[in-house]
């Protein structure tokens, strides 16, 4: 069969050109969305009397048959047919005869492909939000189980102040909540219909764009036909959102890799999420977080790649825009794979509480509290800071931690010290002293956990309302 657009041409397309310009090898992933959009379009053509209703019914039945073949893996796609739209249209014509050629009335591949991608990303946005929620729930579960687990908090990867492990994990819950919020907000810009814009200027047929939007569950239609076929902001926004998710997963991955090392020994990842060495039998490697950390770069690359494609394009559609899909598909697969693994990996992670407590007991991370202690006794903070700096140096030189010092040793640095200093220095006291909103005190962490659960419940409701 000749090209569906071939009437104007006197020569066949060079085979190398066909292979170079064809997108079917990757845009076949849009097959279901393409049929979904076509079903709504042909329903509108029949309703508006643009084609006879019996023809619309025939085409709709043919599209459903083609969709069944697609889902069964029985429909062969051909490079010579260029893209998913023309492959499906040829399959339709083969199914129902020449009447299938009426399907394309009142539309262009330009607004058709844009519609397919809106449908695709709308579904994936909800699915990925659901996976983010599952990871949040896994972190919340570990946080609730570790409300009394204390570990060193770090700045510059140096021990800073003791914190609750639950507080640390809830920081990632907060990061993921921002990710969820961005996906939910971007959904509003994904859920807009471009179909009906034609190639760039609309169509001469009396179509009903709002009917199609309603059939497909879109909240509205693009106001401007040029913008409708040119806009890829919604994909850029998705890639940017995904990049931030991967940044957060990469940061968590780095901590899991560090914490599972012998040097830290704070956690142990389940065997199901680790691999071994072909030469060193003792090895247990945290390959999942390492690979997630590595794959972050490819998601960043997909974002930068699309921004670069779009930066100098004139209105409306240009062949350059074919490059909008592979990075989008790759990002969806990469992010989906990472999130599917991360939730059960966190859920099954073993926390080595004793090792964390040992680390807290063998450092100077309670030094700030001694400075605050002296401040409450009337010493200006800057002077207290200097006193404690010299006290810490003394401890280092004498191989003693602060709780190991005698009261006499404390008083040799300041007469303001009294025996209550030992209570102040206890890790539980250090943690619970930070009883401010958002702080690491147990009462504050419990309240934060309750708030996070309520927010997760709202997210679950949003997902349920937007699935399908």
pTM of the model: 0.91
Mean pLDDT of 49-56: 97
Query: Which H or E run contains 350?
Result: strand 350-351
Query: In this structure, are 340 and 416 located in the same domain?
Result: no
440 lies in some domain: no
Model confidence pLDDT, tens digit, residues 324-334: 899 999 999 99
- pLDDT of 419 above 50: yes
Q: Kind and range of the H or E element at 287?
A: helix 287-310
* CA 222/CA 229 separation, integer angstroms: 9
Tokens of 63: 């599209």
Read off the CATH number of the domain in which 426 is found: 1.10.40.30
- Expressed in angstroms, the distance from the first to the final Cα of the chain is 36
- Of 358, 393, 408, which residue constitutes the final position of a domain? 358
Give the domain CATH number at 313: 1.20.200.10
Alpha helices, DSSP H, located in 48-108: 53-71, 84-96
Question: Are 197 and 324 in a shared domain?
Answer: yes
| pLDDT-derived band at 9, boundaries 50, 70, 90 | low
Integer Cα distance of 121 and 112 in angstroms? 14
Could you tell me if 342 and 397 lie in one domain? no
Q: What is the mean pLDDT of residues 107-131?
A: 96
How do beta strands 220-221 and 267-268 pair?
Answer: unpaired
Question: How many domains would you assign to the chain?
Answer: 3
Where are any strands of DSSP class E within 15-157?
Answer: 150-155
Which of 13-17, 80-84, 125-129, 377-381 has maximum average pLDDT? 125-129
Does the pLDDT at position 434 exceed 80?
yes
Answer whether residue 101 is part of any domain: yes
Residue 459 lies in a domain: no
Question: Is there a domain that residue 63 lies in?
Answer: yes
* 8 A C-beta contact, residue 1 and residue 97: no
Tell me if residue 267 falls in helix, strand or coil.
strand
Q: How confident is the model at residue 78 (pLDDT cuts 50, 70, 90)?
A: confident
pLDDT band with cut points at 50, 70 and 90 for residue 45: very high
Report residue 437: phi and psi, to 5°: -55, 125
Give pLDDT tens digits for 293-313: 999 999 999 999 999 999 999
| Tokens read off for 205 | 């047929």
Helix (H) or strand (E) holding 270: none
**Would residue 465 count as lying in a domain?**
no
CB-facing half-sphere around the CA of 84: CA atoms within 13 A: 26
Give percent of the chain with pLDDT exceeding 90: 83
My answer on whether 170 and 257 are in the same domain is yes
The predicted model gives 399-420 an average pLDDT of: 92
pLDDT of residue 83: 84
For the annotated catalytic residues, the residue numbers are 156, 277
Identify whether residues 51 and 90 lie together within a single domain. yes
Q: Which helix H or strand E contains 221, and what residues bound it?
A: strand 220-221
Residue 372 counted as domain residue: yes
Tell whether 33 is covered by a domain: yes
Residue 1's pLDDT is what? 41
Residues 275 and 412 in one domain: no
pLDDT number for residue 24: 67
Domain shared by 287 and 337, yes or no: yes
Residues 216 and 43 sit within 8 Å (Cβ to Cβ): no
Same domain membership, residue 261 and residue 170:
yes
Task: Show which of 358, 386, 413 is a domain's final residue.
Answer: 358
Instruction: Return the pLDDT at 18.
Output: 60
Do 374 and 255 belong to one domain?
A: no
Q: What percent of the chain has pLDDT over 70?
A: 96
Q: Are residues 237 and 333 in the same domain?
A: yes
Q: Are strands 158-164 and 350-351 parallel, antiparallel or unpaired?
A: unpaired
Average pLDDT, the chain: 93
Domain that residue 73 falls in: 6-105
**Contact of 431 with 152, CB cutoff 8 Å:** no
Residues 118, 94 within the same domain? no
Question: Please, where are the H alpha helices in 362-441?
Answer: 367-376, 381-397, 407-411, 421-425, 427-432
Single out the residue in 105, 130, 161 at which a domain terminates: 105
Residue 227: the pLDDT is: 96
Whether the per-residue pLDDT at 441 is higher than 90: the answer is yes
The CATH number of the domain where 14 resides is what? 1.10.275.10
Q: What is the pLDDT of residue 277?
A: 80
Contact predicate 465/196, CB 8 Å: no
- Residue 2's pLDDT is 54
Per-residue b/e over 205-217, b at no fewer than 16 CB within 10 Å? eebbbebbbebbe
Taking the alpha carbons of 107, 113, 116, 121 in that order, is the dihedral positive or negative?
negative
pLDDT in tens, 24-37: 676 788 999 999 99
Encode pLDDT of 253-297 as tens digits. 999 999 999 999 999 999 999 988 888 888 899 999 999 999 999
User: What 3-state class would DSSP assign to 308?
Assistant: helix
Quote the CA–CA distance of 165 and 149 in Å, as a whole number: 6
Residue 211 lies in a domain: no
In the chain, DSSP finds a helix count (H) and a strand count (E) of 19, 6
Do 276 and 165 belong together in one domain?
A: yes
8 A C-beta contact, residue 208 and residue 44? yes
The answer for 64, left when phi > 0, alpha when psi is -120 to 50, beta otherwise, is alpha
CB-based contact 96:165 (threshold 8 Å):
no
């Amino acid at each position: 069969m000749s090209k569906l657009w071939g009437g104007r041409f006197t020569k066949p397309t060079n085979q190398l050109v066909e292979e170079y310009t064809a997108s079917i090898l990757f845009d076949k992933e849009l097959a279901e969305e393409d049929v979904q959009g076509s079903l709504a379009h042909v329903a509108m053509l029949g309703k508006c009397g643009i084609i006879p209703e019996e023809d619309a019914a025939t085409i709709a039945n043919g599209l459903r048959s083609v969709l069944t073949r697609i889902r069964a893996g029985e429909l062969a796609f051909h490079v010579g047919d260029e893209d998913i739209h023309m492959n499906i249209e040829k399959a339709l014509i083969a199914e129902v005869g020449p009447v299938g050629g009426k399907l394309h009335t009142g539309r262009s591949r330009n607004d058709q492909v844009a519609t397919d991608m809106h449908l695709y990303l709308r579904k994936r946005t909800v699915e990925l939000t659901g996976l983010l929620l599952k990871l949040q729930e896994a972190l919340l579960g570990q946080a609730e189980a570790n409300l009394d687990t204390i570990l060193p908090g770090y700045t510059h990867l140096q021990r800073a102040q003791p914190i609750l492990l639950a507080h640390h994990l809830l920081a990632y819950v907060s990061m993921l909540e921002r990710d969820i919020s961005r996906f939910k907000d971007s959904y509003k810009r994904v859920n807009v219909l471009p179909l009906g814009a034609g190639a760039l200027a609309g169509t001469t047929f009396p179509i009903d764009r709002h009917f199609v939007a309603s059939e497909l569950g879109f909240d509205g239609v693009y106001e401007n036909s040029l913008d409708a076929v040119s806009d890829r902001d919604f994909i850029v926004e998705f890639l940017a959102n995904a990049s931030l998710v991967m940044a957060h997963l990469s940061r968590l991955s780095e901590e899991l890799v560090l914490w599972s090392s012998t040097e830290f020994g704070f956690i142990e990842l389940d065997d199901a999420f680790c691999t071994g060495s072909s030469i060193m039998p003792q090895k247990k490697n945290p390959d999942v977080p390492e690979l997630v950390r590595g794959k972050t770069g490819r998601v960043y690359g997909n974002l930068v790649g699309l921004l670069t494609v779009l930066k100098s394009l004139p209105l409306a559609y240009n062949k350059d825009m074919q490059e909008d899909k592979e990075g989008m598909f790759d990002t969806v697969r990469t992010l989906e794979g990472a999130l599917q693994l991360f939730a059960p990996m966190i859920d099954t992670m073993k926390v080595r509480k004793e090792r964390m407590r040992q680390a807290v007991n063998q450092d100077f991370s309670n030094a700030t509290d001694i400075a605050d202690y002296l401040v409450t006794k009337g010493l200006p903070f800057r002077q207290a800071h200097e006193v404690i700096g010299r006290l810490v140096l003394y401890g280092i030189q004498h191989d003693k931690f602060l709780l190991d010092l005698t009261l006499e040793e404390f008083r040799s640095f300041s007469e303001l010290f009294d025996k209550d200093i030992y209570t102040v220095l206890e890790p539980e006291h250090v943690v619970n002293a930070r009883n401010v909103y958002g702080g690491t005190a147990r009462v504050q962490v419990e309240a934060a956990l309750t708030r996070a659960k309520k927010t997760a419940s709202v997210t679950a409701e949003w997902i349920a309302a937007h699935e399908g």
